[in-house]
Amino acid sequence: MSFAGKAAFVAGAGGGMGLNIANDLIAEGAQVCLADIKPQPTGIASGPGGHRYHQGDLSDEVEVGKAIAQTVATFGRLDYLVNTTGVLWFDRDKSIVDMEIADWDRVMAINLRSFVLTARAAVPEMKKAGGGAMVHISSIDALVGDDKPQDAYGAAKAAIIRLSKSIAIQFAADGIRSNTILPGPVMSPMQEHWEGKPDVQAQVAAHVPLGRIGTTQDQANACLFLLSDKASFITGTELIVDGGVTAHP
């Protein structure tokens, strides 16, 4: 899957899944803007593609517009958008009857509004490039209820699925595809409470039919496939990458 001569914007690329996806795109020859509210991380791939880093709040419309404009000014085009931005606040994101509405609003801003803003800014540039592809990271949490809920997180992840489908239909005639990935349990900075706890990790892995916790590379592999020309007839759909969790009765 060569991405040489193409440019990508990866939101939430300051670490974890987003950084992994950005690095894989760079390794396949893409020019990549990595964007995150966090400072530039170490370990960005050195090539053969190129990169720039944009630090800013992607839930802010002005900031997103600036980031996309700078990406196009630097690389001359925009072909791909990957939305991985997200927070999972176990201590604050609870049932709607228990959590602070201010926390609900902030989770929605980070986990959903940022996706809207990046897509809104990317579509005109993809049209100029003759088409493009988007991948939005949702979660299997969007598909189920939970007696120990993170209600804002789950609602935002469900909304991402609907948003992606609408984008796919609206802009199919422009050659723009939009798909969603639904990860299951993944060892990433978002799940830092698992770090250094082999017993907890073993308990989580025991619920995965394939017998292990997923990696950010598992999700990156799926993402690059959906962005690539190998997926040229795939749009408006969801790819569940969960080791079989949602298929288990």
Taking every pair of C-alpha atoms in the chain, what is the biggest distance, in angstroms? 51
Active-site annotation holder among 153, 168, 180, 187: 153
Question: Which residue's structure tokens are 């801003």?
Answer: 109
* d(C-alpha 236, C-alpha 158), whole Å: 14
d(CA 209, CA 155): 26
Q: In the annotation, is 53 catalytic?
A: no
Torsion angle, CA of 108/79/50/43, rounded to 10 degrees? 30
- The DSSP annotation for 93-155 comes to ---TTTS-HHHHHHHHIIIIIHHHHHHHHHHHHHHHTT-EEEEEE--GGGG---SS--HHHHH
User: Which position has the token pair 């948003």?
Assistant: 163
- Catalytic sites, residue numbers: 153
